[in-house]
Structure 1
Amino acid sequence: MDFKGQTALVIGGGSGIGAATAARFAELGASVVVTGRRAGVLTATAEKIGGEWAAVDATDATALAAFFADGRRYDHLVLAFSGGKGFGTVADLPVADLREAFEAKVFGHFAALKAAQGNLTEHASVTFISAISARAGMPGTAGLAAVNGAIEAMVPPLAAELAPVRVNAISPGVIDTEWWSALGEEERAATFDFYAAKLPAKRVGRADEVAAAVVALAGNTYVTGSILEVAGGGHIPAAV
């Protein structure tokens, strides 16, 4: 797969899946721009891949408008930032946390795409990063399911509305990234062991495996309106 002469923008590209995706695009010849809220990780990622970075809060409409005001065109847009909150049982999850998760991820992704639309090339690709929680039925993930289900529900109508721009989503399962950093090391390891024992793949995933799926969708010009699971079999009902 060759992305030479093309430009990829990864919003949420400073760490985790976003950073791995940015690196994969760069390896395949693309010019890459990463954005996010943390200048430190953005700088490190951009230096590592030979790309560019900009500190942009994707939940800030004014900041988004300012970033895209230069008219620069992008062949690939990846929306890789998460809401952070939303995990917990219905008894324990504060409604305010769920509302914040929707504001950060669902409304954030929609606003970012809305702001970027005029800067996409005619046959650009847009890839959302959702999560397998949208369909896996795991206890304690109703909030995450609602947030990521909303992201995935947008994909088919957006693919029809924005054509010939292609719109897809990657739905990762349990991936070893800093998303889990709120857990202590022991709890994190125990959580990964728990899921690894249940998954057909018998392990949790890596960010670079999700990144490989992102660039595969971005590079396949006959795929749009689709959601691709990268979950080690976590989308199989009996697996979790």
Structure 2
Amino acid sequence: MAARLQNASVLVVGRGSGIARAITLAARDAGARVIVAGRDRQSLQAAYDDAGITAETVDFADEGSIAALAERVGEVDHVVSTTSARARGLVEDLEQATVQTSFATKVTGPILLAKYFKGRIRDGGSLTLFSGSTAVKPVPGMLAVAATNAAADVVAKALAVEMAPVRVNAISPGTVDTGAYDALGEERKAKLFADRQAGNPVRRIGTVDDIAEAVIFAMTNGFVTGTSLRIDGGEPIV
């Protein structure tokens, strides 16, 4: 990926770990100047401690915060939103606030990000959002997640039309070892991963680097827009 983003400026919204971190480091290694943004700027800056990576504050629950971020950052070449909120649970257990937070974080927030960065993304630039494989293969307990992911896929298509010629795409990961599954405990996580690995065509669990490579592709391939890149090991087709 060397020099594929030489001298480009890339804004990555998300945490200082997992997929967001992998994307940030991959963009930096590809030659970009990277701005990371999240609720806790100091923690983000400390997580990277890199002269080529600067940290900003943004809260997707606050439109004013998104607008202020755009004002501070100004023009960029690429914007990536990795934000999400856990909304797992069977339909009888879901609460309204849980569903609303999921949509606010992964759908409404990126729409507002597009609103305030429209006109600030340079020619040849892109906006990359995140959906997920449950949009095409729902499983019990993932209703709100599936609905949110499906909405994110539609948002990417609609924004690709509205923001043209800026390119807009979604990345749709399958089961990826990001650390998010650690809360299950070692034994349950191992069983889940073994089942998922046995049940997908590539016979392995995804890595954060798999996802970061897809994001770099979405940013640098000038003929890809309005699509959801399924980086899922073929999990939804079996």
Instruction: Kindly state the Cα deviation for residue 129 of structure 1 after the two structures are TM-superposed.
Output: 1.2
User: For residue 74 of structure 2, what is the aligned residue in structure 1?
Assistant: 72
Matched, 1:135 2:136: yes
CA contact (8 A) 2:58 2:66 kept: yes
Identity of aligned residues (%): 37
User: For residue 220 of structure 1, what is the aligned residue in structure 2?
Assistant: 221
Instruction: For 2:197 and 2:51, locate their aligned partners in 1 and report how far apart those are by CA, in whole Å.
Output: 31
Instruction: For 1:70 and 1:108, locate their aligned partners in 2 and report how far apart those are by CA, in whole Å.
Output: 18
User: For residue 153 of structure 2, what is the aligned residue in structure 1?
Assistant: 152
Instruction: For 1:31 and 1:7, locate their aligned partners in 2 and report how far apart those are by CA, in whole Å.
Output: 5
CA contact (8 A) 1:59 1:111 kept: no
Instruction: For 1:10 and 1:26, locate their aligned partners in 2 and report how far apart those are by CA, in whole Å.
Output: 11
User: For residue 43 of structure 1, what is the aligned residue in structure 2?
Assistant: 45
Instruction: For 1:226 and 1:46, locate their aligned partners in 2 and report how far apart those are by CA, in whole Å.
Output: 31
Task: Give a deviation string over 1:144-202, Cα, whole Å, max 9, x none.
Answer: 11001001011222111111100011100011113324322322222222211211122
SS of equivalent residue, structure 1 residue 124 = strand
Instruction: For 1:164 and 1:171, locate their aligned partners in 2 and report how far apart those are by CA, in whole Å.
Output: 22
User: For residue 23 of structure 1, what is the aligned residue in structure 2?
Assistant: 25
Instruction: Kindly state the Cα deviation for residue 77 of structure 1 after the two structures are TM-superposed.
Output: 0.5
CA contact (8 A) 2:91 2:141 kept: yes
Matches within 5 A, 1:196-207: 196-207=197-208
Task: Give a deviation string over 1:74-98, Cα, whole Å, max 9, x none.
Answer: 1011011112x22122222223311
User: For residue 90 of structure 1, what is the aligned residue in structure 2?
Assistant: 91
Single out whichever of 129-138 and 161-170 deviates more from structure 2: 129-138
Q: When the two structures are superposed, what TM-score results if normalisation uses the length of structure 2?
A: 0.92
Matches within 5 A, 1:184-199: 184-199=185-200
Instruction: For 1:40 and 1:197, locate their aligned partners in 2 and report how far apart those are by CA, in whole Å.
Output: 41
Q: When the two structures are superposed, what TM-score results if normalisation uses the length of structure 1?
A: 0.91
Stretches of structure 2 that go unaligned for 5 or more consecutive residues are none
Instruction: Kindly state the Cα deviation for residue 56 of structure 1 after the two structures are TM-superposed.
Output: 1.7
Instruction: For 1:226 and 1:211, locate their aligned partners in 2 and report how far apart those are by CA, in whole Å.
Output: 17
CA contact (8 A) 1:173 1:231 kept: yes
User: For residue 179 of structure 2, what is the aligned residue in structure 1?
Assistant: 178
CA contact (8 A) 1:11 1:35 kept: yes
The count of aligned residue pairs is 236
Single out whichever of 73-82 and 63-72 deviates more from structure 2: 63-72
Stretches of structure 1 that go unaligned for 5 or more consecutive residues are none
Moved over 4 A (4+): none
Instruction: For 1:98 and 1:195, locate their aligned partners in 2 and report how far apart those are by CA, in whole Å.
Output: 26
CA contact (8 A) 1:22 1:49 kept: no
Single out whichever of 36-45 and 142-151 deviates more from structure 2: 36-45
Single out whichever of 175-184 and 160-169 deviates more from structure 2: 175-184
Instruction: For 1:44 and 1:112, locate their aligned partners in 2 and report how far apart those are by CA, in whole Å.
Output: 24
Instruction: For 2:47 and 2:9, locate their aligned partners in 1 and report how far apart those are by CA, in whole Å.
Output: 16
Instruction: Kindly state the Cα deviation for residue 49 of structure 1 after the two structures are TM-superposed.
Output: 7.3
Instruction: For 1:189 and 1:200, locate their aligned partners in 2 and report how far apart those are by CA, in whole Å.
Output: 19
Instruction: For 1:188 and 1:48, locate their aligned partners in 2 and report how far apart those are by CA, in whole Å.
Output: 32
Counterpart residue identity of residue 28, structure 1: A
Instruction: For 1:101 and 1:200, locate their aligned partners in 2 and report how far apart those are by CA, in whole Å.
Output: 29
Matched, 1:107 2:70: no
Of 48, 51, 54, 1:52 maps to 54
Instruction: For 2:132 and 2:50, locate their aligned partners in 1 and report how far apart those are by CA, in whole Å.
Output: 27
CA contact (8 A) 2:7 2:32 kept: yes
